[in-house]
Amino acid sequence: MARAMLRLALTPRWLAVAAGLVVLIVAAVLLGSWQWSRTQAILTAERAAAAEAIPVQEALGDGPELPAQSVGRPVTASGEYDATRQVLVTDRALDDRPGAWVVTGLRLPDASLVPVLRGWVAPGDEAAAQVPAGPVAIRGVLQPGEIFYADAPVTADSVVAISQGSLEQAWGEPVPPGFVVLVEQEPMTSPAPLPVPPTIQTGDVPFPLQNFFYAFQWWIFAAFGVFVYLRWLRIEARRLEPVD
Amino acid sequence: MKGLPGAFLRYRIMAWVTGVVLAVLTLWLIVGYGFLDYANTESKPGLYSLLWMLHGWLYVVYLIVGVDLAFRVRYSVVRTVAILLAGTIPFASFFSEALVHKDLERRGLLPA
């Protein structure tokens, strides 16, 4: 059978079919690669757009929950720290040194309050935890509120977890469902809390599934072309030289 | 010719399903890009993209059932390719299905 198929494949008519098949395969493979690079290009562009800092209010949105695409989003904000809105988050180590995190409410021009994790302080280091006075411009990374220790006790100046509930209880006013991990502050004061890295670095971007599938479909078409050619050749070869 | 009625039925179903989805998408595309600013990606609804993805996979199935039918009824290469391409051109698969139907009936390959 194999020999009969080969003989048939080398006839002018079937060579022409094979040439057509090669053109189809090359085209399908190239088109698939093109869709594949489109997929990567879209992802790169989306990630670049997501890495650009936007005003914190835009990232927070109006809803009761932090939008998924805002998690890990670089944000900017300008306002004044409210010295009456600062809590220490207890039991937070930095490089194995025990201490606490300092979360201070940044009062925005529209009077709303955004919690800012300014950094880590050693136990009792009140100088570093001092709330900077005057207007500041900050850049940081937006994080969703922590969800553990939801029932832990809250006082006016200490919490166990940075959650919307804990902060609202400590400060007695509404806060958004997320907080900003400080990366840069202008002007910077000294001494200041040591910066802590954001837990969630980058947010998710929508995956271009359509282009991803198209890439595979083109490659499936190429493989399908080969299959059809071989099956056709076999049927024809059998018809021309019935061996058994 | 064993199993031909089944193969033709499968082809008919896929020709119609693929054809209807593609027809809807074509009209949607014209309205979307013409009047609803779909060139701006953000105004493109998720269902629209989802339907294109669905059409992509439906077409893969259309190819399989189309080739299966072409083999069974011994269509020529040119005719087979024409039938397969009909699944990518809006409204063409309806005509393709009608022509195949007529042809099979003429050849007496379908049960009365």
The reported pTM is 0.66
CA-based nearest residue to B104, from B77, B70, B59: B70
Q: Is A149 on the interface with B (CB under 8 A)?
A: no
Q: State how far the alpha carbon of A193 is from the alpha carbons of A20, A95, A189, in Å.
A: 70, 14, 10
Please, which pLDDT band fits residue A202 given cuts at 50, 70 and 90? Answer: low
Are A213 and B53 inside 8 Å of each other by CB?
Answer: yes
Q: Which helix (H) or strand (E) holds B21?
A: helix B4-35
Tell me, what's the ipTM?
Answer: 0.78
* DSSP track, A38-56: HHHHHHHHHHHHHHS-EEH
Instruction: Give percent of chain A above pLDDT 70.
Output: 97
User: Which residues of chain B neighbour A228 with C-beta distances below 8 Å?
Assistant: 67
Closest approach of B68 to chain A, Cα-based (Å):
9
**A7 near B CB under 8 A:** no
pLDDT in tens, A166-175: 999 999 999 9
Q: What are the tens digits of pLDDT across the range B45-99?
A: 888 889 999 999 999 999 999 999 998 888 888 888 899 999 889 999 999 999 9
User: Are A224 and B63 within 8 A, CB to CB?
Assistant: yes
β-strand partners of B90: none
Separation CA A172–CA A170 (nearest Å): 6
Please tell me the distance from the alpha carbon of residue A219 to that of residue B69, in angstroms, as a whole number: 22
